[in-house]
Chains A and B, each alone.
Chain A
Amino acid sequence: MSALRRLGPTLLAPVLAVVAAIIISGLVMAALQVNPFDVYAVMVDFGDTPAQQMTAIVVILNRAVPLFLAGLAVAVAFRMGLFNIGVEGQYRLATIMAAAIGAAVALPGPLHVLLIVVVAMAVAAIWAGIVAVLKVTRGVSEVISSIMLNFIALGIASYLLTGPFRGSPEGASIISTAEIAESGWMPSLNWVFDALGLANPPRQLSGFLLVAIVVGIVISVLLDRTRFGFDLKATGLSPSAARASGVDSRGMVIKTMLISGAVAGLIGMPDLLGSTHSYTTDFTAGLGFLGIAVALLGRNNPVGIAFAALLFAFLDRALVPLQIADYPASVVTIIQGTIVLAVVISNEVARRIALRSAERGMAQNGPPPAVGDGGSGPAQPAGAGRATGAGQHTDERQEAGA
């Protein structure tokens, strides 16, 4: 029950948003004379043969891993009310530095990978740290400074790639850093398919999936089970109250941005260690910005972010089969856009509902009502969410008061 009470409010807004997005995009499709049910059927069709189905799952998981890490990086800062828009620049700069250093050294297997990952985390953390230092010393808004640092980071990455770190031959159409030696590659997880007796797809399942899961658990514990996580959340809810109760808010800003940056540094690692083995002009861009949407949808909760990342990855995978089936691939873009819009709105709606029933619950000086009335939302989860939302809220107040 307590798990449900915790999950309730986390679930309400995103589920509402996804349902709204599906309905709205269905309406758009219907208006365009496309049958939305056929489109949704194509999206969930993973192929006929087991190998194709497993390939689809691998594609989704491989896409979800960097999205999850990006969402996590944004969420850590967001928990404290810091809007780290600089994740994009942080991971791009981190990836090229890690790629260059990884290519320059020769170490035995696991150490080599570890060094690359640590370099990436350190570079991104330092880059995010600049934002924090500017904020605590000069009061510069982190939104402004992190956006600006994105441009600088991309500029530096581009300079390094075309200048000192250039490893590709003159005249090659794609500029890249030198390739990392095989000891610095991360093995794929395809043995899992054999172990489970499933068809082994030709696509490699990123070994970084395990790392992402571990990072997710660590961040989850850090945020929800430690003093640090409590301070962070308290500072986010009310900086002045937190300061009054002895939280060093400046230190918190710096620590939070360093952690957020360190996680951001991991975003490029699945590709770098698993498939490209070098940083190229073509390295996947934009993950930092997608991370903001993923974190929003996941309500800054690691489990929620995991689901959000999987959902976005699932939608992205549908781009190709939709085109094959002669449906407009922009459906995916519409759904993703509507989700983001809807999640912002439904977050607010959920917050108000929670607040209202909490107030009512306190007025009655008893447990919150089990079922609210009115409002909108899908039948079961919404009802449950609303009631437990109130519970969560009063819990928070008690915690804060304690």
Chain B
Amino acid sequence: MKAAALLLAGSMALAACASDEDSGGSANGGGGDSGGDLRIGLAFDTGGRGDRSFNDSAVAGLEAAVEEHGGEFRDLSPSADGSNRVDLLTQLADEGYNPVIAVGFAYGEVIGDVVEQYPDTTFAIIDSSAEEVGADNLTGLLFAEHEGSFLAGVAAALKSETGHVGFVGGVETPLIQKFEAGYVAGAQAVNPDIVVDTQYISPAGDFSGFNDPARGQIVAQGMYDAGADIVYHAAGGSGVGVFQAAAASGGRAIGVDSDQYQTVDDPALQAVIMTSMLKRVDNAVEAFIGEFVDGNVSGGTDEVYDLSSEGVGLATSGGFIDDIQGEIDDYRQQIIDGEIEVATTP
């Protein structure tokens, strides 16, 4: 009893100290100077802010848009099991945020009901098609990951000395299979005899594979041990494990989504990141908000970001692929011109 009272008193005292300071925390975004009434809501994919990849890329786009158009934004992360995705969207719409952007295909399942419930709010969803939902206030922001991955495969095949490369997927979903399909096709376009190991960290339905660096490392290590010298990962947070395996076995790795050479934060790992397949979520988000501000969001349609619109591409940080840039550009042009058609399924 005494102990409890003491604890309670202590907590109150501490709380009183704390409340002297403004507890508003980090005001996300913060109103732009123009003070326009643009209020953007963003609902993250699992992993949330700070994944140095997919979600952060969306935030970068938001920040750029707020810089340009003024206003503010609010970002929300789902619970660990993602069961409150609907709540994130409805709460943002309830609070008057408009437009509301859902990051990740996982929202595809629930967004249909939400857009119906809030006809006056404009929604966008990344990585999921809006056409199948068919609502005027929803736009899908899609990427041609297979095209970008094709170039990653080209780079890997050109740089491989052993004629053996690898691909580590996070979770065996159709989206990640697009990465695999493009990568394998690109590698084989350069060297038809190349050996491409492909492996997924977790099966469909088990999303742990996107956030399990330890297993990422084991899978990639197996590939390096088997003779692969370059491994491409599309495994979100597990990718760090792939980089670690590359560093441990003197191989190289290809990053994904963001320019991971810039974001990895560790010189030892930086040295193994040959390039990254960029998925310019930031560009897509920024462009969408621009359209919203200008009042010409078409709605009910998908906007596809591919090689021609620079929605996907390869990063050049570190200068590891400068010597093969010419060949990569050749393939890039062929895809844009439609001479090469990249399959979306392995």
Q: How far is the CA of A280 from the CA of B76 in the complex (A)?
A: 23
Q: How far is the CA of A47 from the CA of B95 in the complex (A)?
A: 11
A-B pairs under 8 A by CB, number: 148
B15 touches A162 (CB 8 A): no
Q: Which residue of A lies closest to B344 (CB)?
A: A171
Q: Is the interface of A mostly helix, strand, loop or mixed?
A: helix
Q: Which residue of A lies closest to B7 (CB)?
A: A23
Q: In the complex, which of the residues A162, A327, A376 contacts B4, with contact meaning CB atoms closer than 8 Å?
A: A376
Q: In the complex, which of the residues B76, B127, B205 contacts A281, with contact meaning CB atoms closer than 8 Å?
A: B205
B344 touches A35 (CB 8 A): no
Which residues of A sit under 8 angstroms from B24, Cβ to Cβ?
326
A324 touches B11 (CB 8 A): no
Q: In the complex, which of the residues B74, B79, B204, B207 contacts A324, with contact meaning CB atoms closer than 8 Å?
A: B74
Q: Which of A193-219 contact B (CB under 8 A)?
A: 202-203
* A112 part of interface (Cβ distance < 8 Å): no
Which residues of B sit under 8 angstroms from A326, Cβ to Cβ?
24-28
* A402 part of interface (Cβ distance < 8 Å): no
* A240 part of interface (Cβ distance < 8 Å): no
Q: In the complex, which of the residues B23, B81, B171 contacts A33, with contact meaning CB atoms closer than 8 Å?
A: B23
Q: How far is the CA of A122 from the CA of B5 in the complex (A)?
A: 50
Given A158-B204, A171-B174, A173-B174, verify A320-B15 contact (CB < 8 Å): no
Flag A2-39 by CB within 8 Å of B: 1 or 0 each: 00000000000000000100010011011111111110
Given A33-B23, A36-B11, A375-B1, verify A173-B108 contact (CB < 8 Å): yes
Given A173-B127, A324-B91, verify A19-B76 contact (CB < 8 Å): no
A175 touches B173 (CB 8 A): yes
* B82 part of interface (Cβ distance < 8 Å): yes
A281 touches B204 (CB 8 A): yes
Which residues of B sit under 8 angstroms from A284, Cβ to Cβ?
81-83
Q: How far is the CA of A155 from the CA of B203 in the complex (A)?
A: 7
Q: How far is the CA of A153 from the CA of B281 in the complex (A)?
A: 35
Given A27-B11, A173-B127, A321-B91, verify A327-B81 contact (CB < 8 Å): no
Q: How far is the CA of A175 from the CA of B173 in the complex (A)?
A: 8
A285 touches B4 (CB 8 A): no
Q: In the complex, which of the residues B11, B83, B174, B205 contacts A63, with contact meaning CB atoms closer than 8 Å?
A: B83
B3 touches A154 (CB 8 A): no
A316 touches B84 (CB 8 A): yes
Q: How far is the CA of A38 from the CA of B171 in the complex (A)?
A: 39
A174 touches B11 (CB 8 A): no
* B10 part of interface (Cβ distance < 8 Å): yes
Q: How far is the CA of A32 from the CA of B15 in the complex (A)?
A: 10
* A191 part of interface (Cβ distance < 8 Å): no
Q: Which residue of B lies closest to A32 (CB)?
A: B18
Q: How far is the CA of A85 from the CA of B128 in the complex (A)?
A: 35
Q: How far is the CA of A154 from the CA of B206 in the complex (A)?
A: 8
* B77 part of interface (Cβ distance < 8 Å): yes
Q: How far is the CA of A55 from the CA of B14 in the complex (A)?
A: 34
B128 touches A173 (CB 8 A): yes
A154 touches B27 (CB 8 A): no
* B172 part of interface (Cβ distance < 8 Å): yes
B174 touches A31 (CB 8 A): no
Q: How far is the CA of A250 from the CA of B10 in the complex (A)?
A: 52
* B87 part of interface (Cβ distance < 8 Å): yes
Q: In the complex, which of the residues A47, A203, A276 contacts B109, with contact meaning CB atoms closer than 8 Å?
A: A276
Q: Which 5 A-B pairs have the closest CB atoms?
A: A158-B203, A30-B14, A173-B105, A35-B19, A376-B3
- What are 22 A-B contacts defined by CB distance under 8 Å? A23-B11, A27-B14, A30-B14, A32-B18, A35-B19, A35-B23, A154-B205, A154-B206, A158-B204, A173-B127, A173-B174, A281-B204, A282-B205, A285-B205, A285-B207, A286-B81, A319-B84, A320-B76, A323-B76, A324-B95, A329-B77, A377-B1
**Interfacial residues, chain B to chain A (CB-CB below 8 A):** 1-4, 7-8, 10-11, 14-15, 17-19, 21, 23-28, 74-77, 79-84, 86-88, 90-91, 94-95, 105-106, 108-109, 117, 127-129, 171-175, 203-207, 344-345
